[in-house]
C-alpha cells in the first residue's frame, strides 16, 4: 500500500505544536498540545480516541539561582534538571569538583574529593555509541556522596542544557559551557558556589492518546511518538517532528482505499522526557496476550537534523534484516538503546525500533536538543517531508506482513 503524505498539513501540524511552546509535562503548553492532538487524531482517523490516563508525581520549577562565590563572584546561567529537589530556602553553599567529561574513570580517580561537594560533568551528544547518559553520571555522583550535580552544555553561546537526572535526591542543574569553564578546577583549590532551587510537586494526570486503524487480522503495528518536551525552547526536533509525522501517517492510513493487512495503532505518549514514564505505564498495563499481538513498534523520535535516518533496533537482528529488505535509506544500529519509548516495548520482548536522525553525527542539528536551540526555524520543511515519507514506507511495508516480523523475545 502506498501512503500519501500531505506535506502542507505536516508543516502546519508541526508549526501548531511548536506554537504551544516546549510542552513540558504538566505545563499549559503540554495541555494545549494534548487537546490539539485529541482533535486532530480523531478528525483524521474518523474514529474515537482512547485516552490512557497515567497518574504521576508532577514537578515544576518555581525559582532558582546559581552563583559562583569564589574565585570570582558572578551569577551563572542555569536551569534545574527535571525533579531536582528544593534546597533549604536560604540555599546551600558548597565546593565544586570538576570531573571533566565524567566517565567512570573520572569518578573513581576523584572518589575521595566527591563527598559533600557538587560534582561537575559535561553533557555529551546523545546519539552516539560512546555517549554516557547524564542519568548515569548523576547516579555515580549520588553513590559517591555528592551534595549536588552540575552538567555543562557542550555548545558555545551561553546555552544551558536541561533534561532529567533520573533522581530526586540531590539538587541538579544544567549550566552553560562558559559557566562550566568558570567552575573548572584551579590551582587555588575548589571553586565555591551558592545554589538555590525551589520546586513544586503535585500528583498529576498524564494522558497517552491512542487511535486505531484496524487491519484484517488481530495483529498490530504500533506507530508512536512522544508529544512532551522541555521548556527552554519549542522541542521542535525532539519531538515535534515525530508527532507531526505520526499524524501524517495516521491520516494517510485512514485515507487509504482498503484496510491494511495488520492493524495500525497510533499512540502519542507523554512524560517520555521524565524517564519514559508514559510508555512504561502503557506497556506494563497490557496483558501478555495483548503484547503478543503487537508485531512491531515504530517509534518516531527526532526525525530531522542529520544527514540520514537510523533505526535503533533494540537487539532484534531480524529487524535489521527487515529494514534492509525494504531498500529504504535507513541505517540500522542493533544494540539496545534505552533512549525513548521503544525501550519499554523492547523490554517486554516486543520487536521495537526507534527512527532517529543524526545518529553518530555530532555536528548535526540534533546537537541542539535539550537546549534553547531546539526551535521550529531549524527545521527544513522538505527534510521533514522526506523523513516522514521514509517512515511511512517502512510502516506500509510492515503493515503488509503476514504475521510477526521478528519473533518476540523472552
Ligand atoms: Zn525524544
pLDDT digits (tens, 9 = 90+) for 345-399: 999 999 999 999 999 999 999 999 999 999 999 999 999 999 999 999 999 999 9
Ligand 1 centroid distance, CA of 243 (Å): 10
**Which fold does the domain 7-58+203-399 belong to in CATH?**
Aminopeptidase (3.40.630)
Between the CA of 342 and the centroid of ligand 1 the distance, in Å, is 11
Q: Is 34 a residue whose pLDDT tops 80?
A: yes
Quick one: pLDDT at residue 129?
Answer: 86
**Residue 75 near residue 91 (C-beta atoms within 8 A):** no
Report how far ligand 1's centroid is from the alpha carbon of 118 (Å): 28
d(CA 218, CA 221): 10
8 Å CB contact between 129 and 99: no
CA of 266 to the centre of ligand 1 (A): 16
Q: What are phi and psi of 341, to 5 degrees?
A: -65, -25
Quote the ligand 1 centre to 121 CA distance (angstroms): 22
* CA 12 from centre of chain: 22
Q: Residue 205 C-alpha to ligand 1 middle, in angstroms? A: 20
The C-alpha cell 546559581 sits at 66
pLDDT in tens, 231-258: 999 999 999 999 999 999 999 999 998 8
Average pLDDT over residues 288-317: 97
Distance, CA 263 to ligand 1 centroid (Å)?
25
> From ligand 1's centre to the CA of 120, what distance in Å?
24
CA distances from 273 to 135, 229, 254, 269, 301 (A): 12, 6, 29, 10, 11
Span from the CA of 307 to the centroid of ligand 1 (angstroms): 18
- How far away, in angstroms, is 366 Cα from ligand 1 center? 11
369 CA → ligand 1 middle, Å:
9
What CATH class is the domain 59-200?
Answer: alpha beta
How much distance in Å is there from the Cα of 239 to the middle of ligand 1? 5
**How far, in Å, from the CA of 365 to the mean position of ligand 1?**
14
Q: Measured in angstroms, how far is the CA atom of residue 302 from the centroid of ligand 1?
A: 6
Question: Are 7-58+203-399 and 59-200 equal in CATH topology?
Answer: no
Which grid cell sits at 143?
553513590
E-assigned strand segments in 281-365 = 294-300, 309-312, 330-333, 352-357
Ligand 1 centre and the CA of 299: distance in Å? Answer: 10
Distance 277 CA to ligand 1 centre (A): 13
Cβ atoms within 10 Å of 273's Cβ, excluding its own: 25
- CA–centroid distance, residue 293 to ligand 1 (Å): 25
| pLDDT attached to residue 402 | 79
Residue 226 Cα to ligand 1 middle (Å): 7
Q: How far is the CA of 353 from the centre of ligand 1 (A)?
A: 13
Look up residue 82 and give its DSSP letter.
Answer: B
CA distance 291 to 294: 5
Instruction: Tell me which residues have their CB within 5 A of the ion that is ligand 1.
Output: 238-239, 301
The Å distance, Cα 207 to ligand 1 centre, comes to 17
What does the mean pLDDT of the chain come to?
A: 96
Q: Quick check: 137 and 151 in contact, CB under 8 A?
A: yes
- % of the chain surpassing 70 pLDDT: 99
d(CA 150, CA 80): 9
Q: Which three cell numbers stand for residue 249?
A: 501517517
Percent residues over pLDDT 90 in the chain: 93
**Distance from the alpha carbon of residue 155 to the mean position of ligand 1, in angstroms:** 19
Lowest mean pLDDT: which of 173-187, 210-224, 282-296? 173-187
pTM of the model: 0.95
pLDDT digits (tens, 9 = 90+) for 156-193: 999 999 999 888 999 999 999 999 999 987 777 899 99
* pLDDT at position 71: 87
Q: Which residues of 276-305 are buried (b: 16+ CB within 10 A; e: fewer)?
A: bbbbbbbbeeeeeeeeebbbbbbbbbbbbb
**What is the distance in A from the centroid of ligand 1 to the CA of 102?**
23
Domain extents in the chain:
7-58+203-399, 59-200
**How far is ligand 1, taken at its centre, from the CA of residue 229, in Å?**
7
Between the CA of 36 and the centroid of ligand 1 the distance, in Å, is: 19
* Dist. CA 110 → ligand 1 center (Å): 33
Amino acid at each position: 500500500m502506498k501512503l500519501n503524505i500531505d506535506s502542507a498539513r505536516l508543516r502546519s501540524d508541526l508549526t501548531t505544536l511548536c506554537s504551544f511552546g516546549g510542552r513540558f509535562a504538566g505545563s499549559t503548553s503540554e495541555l494545549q498540545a494534548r487537546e490539539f492532538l485529541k482533535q486532530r487524531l480523531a478528525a483524521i482517523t474518523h474514529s474515537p480516541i482512547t485516552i490512557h490516563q497515567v497518574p504521576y508525581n508532577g514537578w515544576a520549577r518555581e525559582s532558582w539561582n546559581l552563583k559562583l562565590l569564589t574565585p570570582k563572584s558572578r551569577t551563572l546561567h542555569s536551569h534545574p534538571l527535571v525533579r531536582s529537589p528544593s534546597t533549604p530556602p536560604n540555599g546551600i553553599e558548597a565546593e565544586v569538583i570538576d570531573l571533566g567529561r565524567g566517565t567512570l574513570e573520572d569518578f573513581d580517580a576523584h572518589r575521595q574529593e566527591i563527598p559533600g561537594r557538587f560534582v561537575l560533568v559535561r553533557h555529551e551528544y546523545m546519539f552516539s555509541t560512546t555517549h554516557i547518559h547524564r542519568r548515569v553520571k548523576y547516579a555515580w555522583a549520588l553513590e559517591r556522596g555528592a551534595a549536588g550535580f552540575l552538567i555543562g552544555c557542550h555548545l558555545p553561546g551561553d546555552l544551558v542544557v536541561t533534561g532529567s537526572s533520573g533522581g530526586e535526591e540531590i539538587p541538579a542543574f544544567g549550566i552553560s559551557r562558559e559557566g562550566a569553564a568558570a567552575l573548572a578546577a584551579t590551582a587555588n583549590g575548589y571553586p565555591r558556589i551558592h545554589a538555590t532551587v525551589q520546586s513544586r510537586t503535585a500528583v498529576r494526570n498524564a494522558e497517552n492518546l491512542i487511535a486505531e486503524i484496524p487491519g484484517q487480522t488481530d495483529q498490530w503495528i504500533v506507530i508512536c511518538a512522544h508529544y512532551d518536551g522541555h521548556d527552554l525552547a519549542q522541542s521542535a526536533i525532539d519531538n515535534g517532528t515525530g508527532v507531526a509525522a505520526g499524524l501524517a501517517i495516521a491520516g494517510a492510513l485512514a485515507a487509504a482505499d482498503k484496510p491494511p493487512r495488520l492493524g495500525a495503532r497510533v499512540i502519542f505518549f507523554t512524560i517520555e522526557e521524565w524517564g519514559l514514564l508514559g510508555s512504561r505505564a502503557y506497556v506494563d498495563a497490557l496483558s501478555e496476550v495483548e503484547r503478543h499481538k503487537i508485531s512491531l513498534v515504530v517509534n518516531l523520535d527526532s526525525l530531522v537534523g542529520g544527514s540520514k535516518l537510523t533505526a535503533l533496533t533494540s537487539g532484534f537482528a531480524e529487524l535489521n534484516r527487515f529494514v534492509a529488505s525494504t531498500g529504504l535509506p535507513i541505517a540500522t544500529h542493533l544494540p539496545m538503546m534505552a533512549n525513548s519509548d521503544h525501550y519499554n516495548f523492547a523490554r517486554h520482548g516486543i520487536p521495537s525500533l526507534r527512527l532517529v536522525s543524526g545518529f553518530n553525527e555530532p555536528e548535526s542539528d540534533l546537537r541542539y536538543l535539550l537546549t534553547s536551540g531546539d526551535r521550529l526555524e531549524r527545521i527544513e520543511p522538505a527534510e521533514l517531508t522526506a523523513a516522514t515519507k521514509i517512515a511511512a514506507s517502512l510502516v506500509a511495508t510492515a503493515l503488509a506482513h503476514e504475521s510477526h516480523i521478528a519473533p518476540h523475545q523472552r
